[in-house]
Structure 1
Amino acid sequence: MHGACRCGQISYQVRNKPLYSGYCHCHACQKRNSAPCVSVFLIQKKDIDFHGKTDSFRSLGGSGKEMTEHRCHDCGDAIYSDLSVLDNVIVCLAATLNNPNDFEPEGHLWVSSRDPRFEIKDNLEQQAGPPKQMMPYLAK
């Protein structure tokens, strides 16, 4: 899988399958993207290569723990977030993928924060908080 920001200054290549892909409904994603939910994939840092210059911004994620958001230095597109709650795993925005068909959602995260005006009409798994699949990657 390959992806990039709108201006192309940031690009990336994914070498292995993501650990998890889905739609995040946490307040941090809603605010960062001005959307009721965001398509994301979680991947180990060792399995993705980034090229280009990012600017970073620290804030609180859906878990209430610190996260660092990385955006393109030029166009400002959000590319990925580094969550302190996860060891060696980052959260990438799937909208930055060059081929949208590379995104294969498994479920919905943080539906406890879902915008009540946003209806989920698919049959994907819904989790109140983070994906259960990430439990082995929680920071100690």
Structure 2
Amino acid sequence: MHGACRCGQVRYQLKSLPLYSGYCHCHACQKRNSSPCVSLFLIQKKEIDFSGKTSCFSIIGGSGKEMIEHRCQDCGDAIYSDLKVLDDVIVCLASTLEKPEDFKPEGHLWVSSRDPRFEINDDLEQQAGPPMQMMPYLAK
């Protein structure tokens, strides 16, 4: 699997399949993308190679811990976020995948923050908060 920003200056290649893929309904994702939810995947940092230059900024995420967002410094596309609540795992936006069919969602996250005007009409698992699959990666 591989992806890039719109202008192609930032590119990435996955060395393994993501740890988790799904749709996030948290307030941070809603604001960042001006949408009711975001398609994303989580992967260990050592399992993805990046090229190109990003600009970064830091905010405090819903966990109360720092979240560093990386965007293409040329076109401004959001590429990935480094959530300090997780050890050695990053969150990539699935919209940057070059083959959209590579995105295989497993569920919906943070449905407790879901925009009530947005209906979920699939049979994917729904979790009120973060994916339980990520518990082994929580920062200590």
Give TM-score scaled by structure 1 length.
Answer: 0.98
Report 1:106-117 matches (<5 A). 106-117=106-117
Which residue matches 2:88?
88
Deviation at 1:61, TM superposition (A): 2.1
Identity %: 81
Which residue matches 1:9?
9
Deviation at 1:23, TM superposition (A): 0.1
Which residue matches 1:63?
63
Cα distance between partner residues in 2 of 1:75 and 1:32:
15
2:32 is aligned with what amino acid?
A: R
Superposed CA deviations along residues 68-107 of structure 1, whole A, max 9, x for unmatched, are 0000000000000000100000000000000000000000
Q: Which sections of structure 1, spanning at least 5 residues, go unmatched?
A: none
Paired residue secondary structure (2:29): helix
Count residues with an aligned counterpart: 140
Q: Point out 4+ residue stretches in structure 1 off by more than 4 angstroms.
A: none
Cα distance between partner residues in 1 of 2:62 and 2:69:
13
1:133 is aligned with what amino acid?
A: Q
Cα distance between partner residues in 1 of 2:110 and 2:63:
9
Give TM-score scaled by structure 2 length.
Answer: 0.98
Asked whether the 8 Å contact 1:28–1:60 carries over to 2, the reply is no
2:18 is aligned with what amino acid?
A: P
Cα distance between partner residues in 1 of 2:112 and 2:35:
16
Which residue matches 1:127?
127
Please say if 1:43 is aligned against 2:43: yes
Which residue matches 2:77?
77
